[in-house]
Structure 1
Amino acid sequence: MLHLGLLDFSLILLVVHLTGAVAAVHAALTVRTSQGAVAWVVALVMMPYLTLLPYLFLGRRRFADYVTARRYVIEQMYRQVGRNDWPSPESVSAELAVEAPQSCIRTLSRLGRSPTTGHNRVRLLINGEATFTTILAAITAARHSVIVQFFIVHDDMLGQALQQALLERAAEGLHVYFLYDSIGCHALPKSYLESLEQGGVDVQPFAVTRRFVNRFQVNFRNHRKLVVIDGKTAYVGGHNVGCEYLGLKPPLAPWRDTHIEVTGPAAAILQLSFAEDWYAATGKLPLLHQPRKADGGTMLCQVVPSGPADRLETGSLLFVEAINAAQRRIWLTSPYFVPDEAVSAALRLALLRGVEVKILIPSRKDHRMVFLASRLYAYEAARAGVQMYTYRPGFLHQKVVLVDDEIAIIGSANLDNRSFRLNFELMVATVDRGFAAEVEAMLVTDFALADPVDASRYARLTLWRRVAMSLARLFAPIL
């Protein structure tokens, strides 16, 4: 019996290792970046017992059938949009579309596959109370349609306030759309969604496919946070829906985040970003409104959606282009700092050009592995000359880029591989000296509440801490 038991155990080990080797070959052939492929191959060959199950959930990042299907769906959507006489991004009237003088914005326009629009107004919304007070008031004032899309929605005080506002609008006969990510909202009770549906809200989960095999896939998350009111005003940024985003849940409280209110033709362009996701999930178009100028709007805006089906690596290239465009300064804030080689190289080149490079990250962790990797990258960046800071009062979740004195970029994308290549993200670039000055003032306050990262401190860390950070970095391409 003992002999048979050992034989059975040996066979199990052999099967696990062989399966790990097969999965490693699959990773080498399918993972999008060389760094990610190396991380998976090493992990699957050396530690198949620990990594086979995560690979089932996290692997197959960009499989060809999904990419092809997503692109086909979007092509179909725009054919239907054209039949309904709604302009595609490429055909927005010359009165609203502009040729930006900044080469960075022209590049982002091509990268985001949509025109730069003028005649916009943009307002900065700092932290949760300002953001959700404004959003809920805008929903209440809606007259035709309400679009709501979030990665995370909780059934708490804030989530219930949103639910009630949507039900009231639906009861008034408005078109109300609620799109949620099926992974991010895994804890959202079915009763919450049923209540919306019964009240006339059009509810839909975002999932890349309905096939059973991919129910085990947690990649390709829809990380966008978007609310659009009547096609003329939109809200984009870092907030999800939950009391923690109001700073009401320790130990991460107070929560530091930023949203923006966009009024004008850029809001209509943002409708199309939602329409792509909605059409992919339902095969139907939401109600779309024609682009309109904002009263007194003078700002240029560029919408940059990104996702795993993009022909280029839009998420990473957005940050690379913004950093390369900086002549005087580049300030960035992100909850996670796990840059790829392209972004790291751009930061080093900016330093060599004499650009002031300042990056703000959290001092508190919400995901241990990413936090450890972020800290190691922060120490290395500080050694290279980047002014790295950790935000002291609470958890920093905002995603903000400030380039020189004119360009500010705000949205949902983090400085990590998941946002670069896996998640569906949404960023808005603005060109306006007055608004950039407001963003600068906000960031000056944030940096004043932060501690500089001392690169020499790394050598004083305990051995286990340095080992943990180095191991976390090995998995950086797949975090």
Structure 2
Amino acid sequence: MQFEFNWLSLGTLIFVSHTLGVIAAIHAILNTRTSQGAVAWAVSLVAMPYLTLIPYLFLGRSKFAGYVDARRLENELLRTRAHPSAWDTHASSAGRPADALGHHVVRALTGLSGMPFLPGNAVRTLVNGDATFGAILDAIENARRYVLVQFFIVRDDPLGTMVKDLLIAKAREGVRVCFLYDSIGSFDLPQRYVAELLAGGVEIHPFATNRRFVNRFQLNFRNHRKIVVVDGERAFVGGHNIGVEYLGGNPRLSPWRDTHIDMRGPVVASVQFVFLEDWHWATQRLPRLEPSQAEEPQPQHGHDMHCLVVAPSPADKGETGSLFFVEAIHAARERIWITTPYLIPDEAVFAALRLAVMRGVDARILIPSRRDHYVVFEASKLYAYDLIRAGVRIFRYRPGFLHQKVVLIDNVAAAVGSANLDNRSFRLNFEIMVLTIDHEFAAEVEAMLAEDFVLAYEVDRSEYREAPALRRVTMHVARLFSPIL
């Protein structure tokens, strides 16, 4: 009798698993953003529900309904209290950006961003961690009114302690400090670190996506942005997080190669608006900035860089992240250089790169030679092989781990920010990129990347063709997970 009962229980468990798998597969088909992702989830959920139901619970959703609803219902409040007045008029496609990229490109990019190109900015590159955190800490040290800080990863290590102590010191001086960190990216951040900041007068909150039950278990929708704004006059955006590994403190990945940018001028208001939107989601309120604290940044004398902030998110109506890269590639007439730690392009980006090669554009992508995520690294080898066959030149950076996210378009434009060339940045993460139109800045970025290419080797088809059969199988299996990588 006991034997029959066990078989009956097993049969019931199998039936329930497959029933739930079918229900989840229907949900995936109806809600997954891409057809590839929908097919991958649906097939795996129906065929192997025992292995995929729990991962789907954590990784399956690709539409951030909670943030979409909040943005729709509260957008007017944000735009009336935090929106620069210069945005109240429709952005024109005339002027330097249009001369550099073309009227249609500028119109498309401003449509994607929801913000205009703003003139009168000064932007400089910060190469690697010492320059980046040296500039950020110096700017915070000199803050008079407020500091807005947002990072994906915050570590309780020597760098994290340095940042914490400085923020507490400024808060005690009467400077308003708002600190936002991602709840999953900083999952190992000790509560005592947060408690010390709160006790020191710093307003600190996690960016979490589980306010609604439907998102309760989600690991998607991470806030991958890295933003610092000081007094509304200076802003920093790029690839660094707060951790000693970004200063080369991890021997396995050292020296760490990354890039940030330091901005002054009207573009700071655009960056600040992105922070305020995220802060409002996390706290349900805006920072209490006095009117004098919210004055719009003035154009920088002697500088006339035009800048556009693009902040892709899973709450966008379209695929802002993917479309930004597609439009940047289409804008290239002579050269498109991209650096990214993760090479998982979607079909739209792949097609844009292939067309660029056909137009005679020098299309290059610089990626790491060391790995920090095994599955992503193996999948990227197969994508690199496909891109090489299409005529794109792929390079691997030798000295250490390459983490910078940079796009160079001809000799006129460059973008720096937090977005990788992968599906997670295209559709699942909150990201930020700053596109700058200026010949001198583009030359600065070109010189920086030229040094990186000198320290890299070009990948050829042998990386895939001469790999052992088992390794090639691993690459193909890894690529099956592309929709969630």
TM-score, L = length of structure 2: 0.94
Residue of structure 2 equivalent to 1:142: 143
Superposed CA RMSD in Å reads 1.8
- Residues 260-295 of structure 1, C-alpha deviation per residue, up to 9 Å, x if partnerless? 001100011111111111111222222233231123
Separation in 1 of the partners of 2:439 and 2:76? Answer: 37
* Candidates 416, 422, 436, aligned match of 1:416: 422
For 1:350-390, what per-residue CA distance to the aligned partner results, in whole angstroms no more than 9, with x for missing partners? 01101111001111111111111111100111111110011
The CA distance in 2 between the partners of 1:48 and 1:191, in whole Å, is: 40
Shift of 1:209: 4.2
Q: Which residue of 2 aligns with 1:109?
A: 110
Q: How do 1:176-195 residues align onto structure 2 when only pairs under 5 Å count?
A: 176-195=177-196
Contact 1:303–1:426 (CA<8 Å) still a contact in 2?
Answer: yes
Q: Secondary structure at the match of 1:216?
A: coil
Aligned residue number for residue 61 of structure 2: 60
Equivalent pairs, count: 474
Instruction: Give yes or no for the alignment of 1:382 onto 2:383.
Output: no
- Assess, with a 3 A threshold, how the Cα gap between structure 1 residues 93 and 87 changes in structure 2: closer, same or farther: farther
Of 66-75 and 465-474, deviating more is 66-75
Counterpart-to-counterpart distance in 2, 1:232 and 1:383: 46
Q: 1:155 to 1:91 in 2, by over 3 A?
A: farther
Instruction: Give the aligned residue type for 2:319.
Output: E
Are the equivalent residues in 1 in contact too, given 2:395–2:458 (CA < 8 A)?
yes
What letter corresponds to residue 85 of structure 2 in structure 1?
Answer: P
Note if contact 1:268-1:289 (Cα within 8 Å) is conserved in structure 2.
Answer: no
The Cα shift of 1:3 comes to 2.7
Q: Give 1:128's aligned residue.
A: 129
Deviations 1:158-182 (A, max 9, x none): 0011101111110110111101111
Over 6 Å off, 4+ runs: none
* Pairwise CA distance, 1:116: 0.8
Structure 2 counterpart of 1:447, from 442, 453, 468: 453
How far 1:411 sits from its partner (Å)?
0.2
Assess, with a 3 A threshold, how the Cα gap between structure 1 residues 233 and 93 changes in structure 2: closer, same or farther: farther
Q: 1:107, CA displacement in angstroms?
A: 2.5
Structure 2 residue aligned with 1:462, among 456, 464, 468? 468
CA distance 1:58–1:455, shift in 2 (3 Å): same
Counterpart of 1:426 in structure 2 is 432
1:87 and 2:85 correspond: yes
Give the superposition deviation at 1:65.
5.1
3-state SS, counterpart of residue 425 of structure 1:
coil
- State the partner residue of 2:341: 335
- Cα shift at 1:72: 2.0
Q: Secondary structure at the match of 2:216?
A: helix
CA distance in 2, matches of 1:430, 1:34: 33
Opposite residue 377 of structure 1, the aligned amino acid is Y
User: What residue in structure 2 maps to residue 75 of structure 1?
Assistant: 76
Counterpart of 1:400 (choices 394, 406, 411) is 406
Equivalent position of 1:355 in the other structure: 361
Structure 2 gap segments, 5+ residues each: none
What pairs up with 1:291-302 in 2 under 5 angstroms? 291-302=297-308
Give the C-alpha shift of residue 213 in structure 1: 4.5
Q: How does 1:191-340 map to 2 (within 5 A)?
A: 191-286=192-287, 287=289, 288-340=294-346
Deviations 1:311-343, CA, capped at 9 Å, x for gaps: 221100100000000000100000001001100
Q: Residue 51 of structure 1 aligns to a residue in which SS?
A: helix
In 1, Cα distance between equivalents of 2:313 and 2:226: 14
The match for 1:12 is 13
Counterparts of 2:400 and 2:124 in 1: how far apart (Å)? Answer: 24
CA contact (8 A) 1:89 1:113 kept: no
CA distance in 1, matches of 2:118, 2:361: 28
Deviates further, 435-444 or 58-67: 58-67
CA distance in 1, matches of 2:183, 2:279: 14
Structure 2 Cα separation of the partners of residues 91 and 221 of structure 1: 32
- Percent identity of equivalent pairs: 57
Residues 106-148 of structure 1: per-residue CA shift (max 9 Å, x gap):
4222211111111100011000010001100110011111010
Mean CA deviation greater in 132-141 or 211-220 = 211-220
Instruction: Report the Cα offset of residue 296 of structure 1.
Output: 2.3
Q: Residue 447 of structure 1: CA displacement? A: 1.0
Q: Which residue of 1 aligns with 2:379?
A: 373
Residues 141 and 92 (structure 1), Cα distance of their counterparts in 2 relative to 1, 3 Å cut: farther
CA contact (8 A) 2:367 2:395 kept: yes
In the superposition, relative to structure 1, how do residues 243 and 355 fare at CA in structure 2: closer, same or farther (>3 Å)? Answer: same
